[in-house]
A and B are shown apart, each in its own frame.
Chain A
Amino acid sequence: MLMNRFVLFPVLILASFGLQAESLDHWLDKMKQGMEANNYQGTLVIRQDDKMETLRVIHGHNEGGNWETLEFLSGEPRKVIRKDGKVTTIFPERKLVTVSQDMVHSPLHPQLPQNRELLKQYYNISLVGKGRIAGKETQVLEIMPKDQYRYGFIFWLENETGLLLKCDMLDEKRGIIEQLMFSELEFLDQSPASNIPEYPDFKLIDLDRDRKTQTTSDWNAKTLPEGFMLTQNSIKPSFHGEGIVHHLVYSDGMASVSVFVEKQMPDKTSLNGVSNMGALNAYGQLINDYQVTVIGEVPIATVKLIGESVAHTETAMQE
């Protein structure tokens, strides 16, 4: 009898872990589906520090794909329509419409990377309980980093659909850096109308007409936190109109960091040290005549670590 208990106990423990893992994967799958395969409209609230912003969100899904409309309820009236790979932004007060390619081919909410097992190497992912958001029951999912080089997240996923109703970004002390939440949400039986209205009297600007970029910068970050990899590597015209800027993006699947390198302009100052605003941290330094700036939604330690290791490829190879 005693022997049976010794055998049974570890079996139950293992079974428990197995169920937890299965359930976790179930919710991760559900979350991904929830972002895409639903029709809904609601009010989205963004909180950063002590400030709040509100947006009206309408999301449609049909055989043609997904589309969504974001209408800002605070500040200057603006409406953004993302559809068919294009972003149309309407500024009614200025009688202005801008159109551009959708560079961020992503849904409204954060999306988990394809390689879930890779993510688990750097984050502890767990189901931590139940919650209620916008009058709907939710499953709470926590994604906490295993080191101090990235922020944590708490997701509230609607029970039936897996739609993300609330997202908290947490610092290393579990303090809330940013919060995104539906205060009100209604699921729709059918996809809402997706017509982009015409504004014949408005000025139309195509933001892509002069877009030119070339790939492969010869700059590189030699030291990265675990799990970060290069996901973008490009050279573009400088933002101030003279010369070029090298732009590298590193990501671990959750967080991302940009490295900008450009020739220092005479008589112009640039960031030297660390700067921050909300969840964004930046680090800058001068390497020979080049200004290196690292910026991302990661802790200071991360931008500093990466920034201090940036070097020209030839320089890096000599070391």
Chain B
Amino acid sequence: MNNRDEQISSLMDDALEQQELDAFMQDLKRDPVDEAERIKRYQIMGDAMRNDLNAISFMDISAAVQRAIDNEPELDYTPQKSPRRTFDFSAWLRPLSGVAIAASVAMVTVITFRTVETSSEINPVQTVASTQPSTQLVVPVNPQISQQIQVVSTDRSATPNAMTQKQLNDYMMNHSEYAGQASMQGMMPYVRVVSFDAKTRQ
């Protein structure tokens, strides 16, 4: 821990003399963002040690996010033909005919799904009549069972082949198109596709 860290730690513990505090505040002006983040970390560490951790503040990533935005490099992305893997976010908006259209604009879209093997005892919690109308509320058979589900998963990091990836990609995009209609997810599926887009470019 360097001298600055010790000062911040003392500040958090309210153990800094007035003179030291004045000197520290002067230093703080030189690099306010970095110090602000460091202070936040020490504050969290202090809270954690005192068992006084606020879950909301702990999850607040605003400082890191703002920093990431400020430091974000300007990417010089030039679309390339296969085999470069890119994700076509616009396909979220695209109906079925768009598959052919996408090919015409040379947009190859592949998402990397991972295969996950599960060891689980899944108990059905409700049975649905096979001719269930689209607006009918399903009735649970045994509501208590759902409280007892234990799922254990082991990621074997096996990746589906390219053909399966492409199929999952198509399904995911089509699902996203309708997910917002069906649920309160709203634009989240869309935003998720955008995120995938970024991943596949890196």
Binding site for B on A (CB under 8 A): 43, 45-48, 51-55, 72-76, 78, 80, 87, 89, 91, 93-94, 96, 98, 100-101, 103-113, 118, 128-129, 131-134, 140, 146-149, 154, 167-169, 172, 176, 178-181, 183-184, 205, 207-213, 220-233, 236-237, 239-241, 247, 249-256, 258, 260, 268-271, 273-282, 293, 295-297, 299-301, 304-305, 308-309, 311, 313, 316-317
Contact = CB atoms under 8 A, between A and B. Distances in A.
B171 A53 contact: no
A54 B166 CA distance: 26
A253 B184 contact: yes
Contact of A113 (B90, B94, B183, B196): B183
A110 to B, nearest CB: 4
A236 B101 contact: no
Contacts of B167: 239-240, 270-271, 293
Interface in B50-102: 56-57, 59-62, 65-66, 68-69, 72, 75, 77-79, 89-90, 93-101
A233 B69 CA distance: 41
Given A108-B186, A317-B130, A46 B191 contact: yes
A248 B147 CA distance: 26
A118 B95 CA distance: 31
B199 interface: yes
Given A53-B191, A134-B62, 8 more contacts: A108-B186, A213-B96, A227-B138, A230-B133, A247-B178, A250-B182, A271-B168, A295-B168
Contacts of A172: 151
B179 A297 contact: yes
Contacts of A209: 97
B131 to A, nearest CB: 7
Given A232-B181, A258-B179, A277 B116 contact: no
Nearest to A122: B146
A75 B186 contact: no
A2 B162 CA distance: 75
A310 B126 CA distance: 13
Contact of A225 (B126, B175, B181): B126
Given A231-B134, A282-B113, A295 B171 contact: yes
A255 B42 CA distance: 37
B41 interface: no
A233 B187 contact: no
B199 to A, nearest CB: 6
Interface in B180-199: 180-192, 194-199
B61 A47 contact: yes
Given A211-B95, A239-B96, A313-B131, A94 B195 contact: no
A281 B171 CA distance: 12
Contacts of A256: 175, 178-179, 182-183, 185
A139 B159 CA distance: 41
Given A277-B111, A300-B118, A109 B89 contact: no
B118 A274 contact: yes
Contact of B181 (A96, A104, A146): A104
A223 B128 contact: yes
B122 A181 contact: no
Contacts of B96: 210-213, 236-237, 239
A76 B133 CA distance: 43
A19 to B, nearest CB: 22
